[in-house]
Chain A
Amino acid sequence: DAGVTQSPTHLIKTRGQQVTLRCSPKSGHDTVSWYQQALGQGPQFIFQYYEEEERQRGNFPDRFSGHQFPNYSSELNVNALLLGDSALYLCASSLMESGGYTFGSGTRLTVV
């Protein structure tokens, strides 16, 4: 049973560019959440998608946007990249009505 799959694993972008990260949830899960983890810190919640809608959002600017598809997979888009956006981006899937979040291995984004 495949867990949460994220792609790509590593990415290098230039300041001002745009990036798209992808996440396939664990089989049977219907909810996808995205987290940003800066070096040496705990993950910070970006947003959560359920039934193809953004249900919750953390304290992140509108440059961060997302999407959930009918098959529950999700994308995270970041526009106008800043150096400070360099981080490990983690995707977590879950069932909306229960606990138990499963995390992917993350995408390491470096902005130069």
Chain B
Amino acid sequence: AQSVTQPDIHITVSEGASLELRCNYSYGATPYLFWYVQSPGQGLQLLLKYFSGDTLVQGIKGFEAEFKRSQSSFNLRKPSVHWSDAAEYFCAVVNFMDTGRRALTFGSGTRLQVQP
């Protein structure tokens, strides 16, 4: 079964500092990968997704992520964090090649706190 691991439960960074959130997945084939952000009490907003092609993916709000097949990772990065980036971040995977398995599998999330 596919799984997603986000090893960092909570990260605190200073405003203006760089950010990297880690995500590792376990799946036999090349998965489709997503990063979502969730503000308290809100739904999920898609930051970026990787389906194929260039392994460095650009998303909204200045975020990017790099797919590394050899490491089974899809880490999220931002060069300079803003106070408004404080939220919960979820990595997710789905395999569209398997018509019986098109549900998103989420990691447990990383809570980002931004210090002024």
Contacts and interface: CB of A to CB of B under 8 A. Distances in A.
Contact of B108 (A42, A90, A102): A42
Interface stretch (A11-19, A65-73, A104-112): A104-112
Nearest to A98: B96
A48 B102 contact: yes
Given A33-B104, A58-B103, A102 B46 contact: yes
B11 to A, nearest CB: 15
Interface in A54-105: 55-56, 58, 88, 90, 92, 96, 98-105
A90 B43 contact: yes
A100 B33 CA distance: 10
Residues of B contacting A: mostly: loop
B106 A56 contact: no
A96 B108 CA distance: 25
Contacts of A42: 90, 106-109
B94 interface: yes
Interface of B: 32, 34, 36, 41-46, 49, 51, 90, 94, 96, 100-109
Interface of A: 4, 6, 33, 35, 41-45, 48, 55-56, 58, 88, 90, 92, 96, 98-106, 108
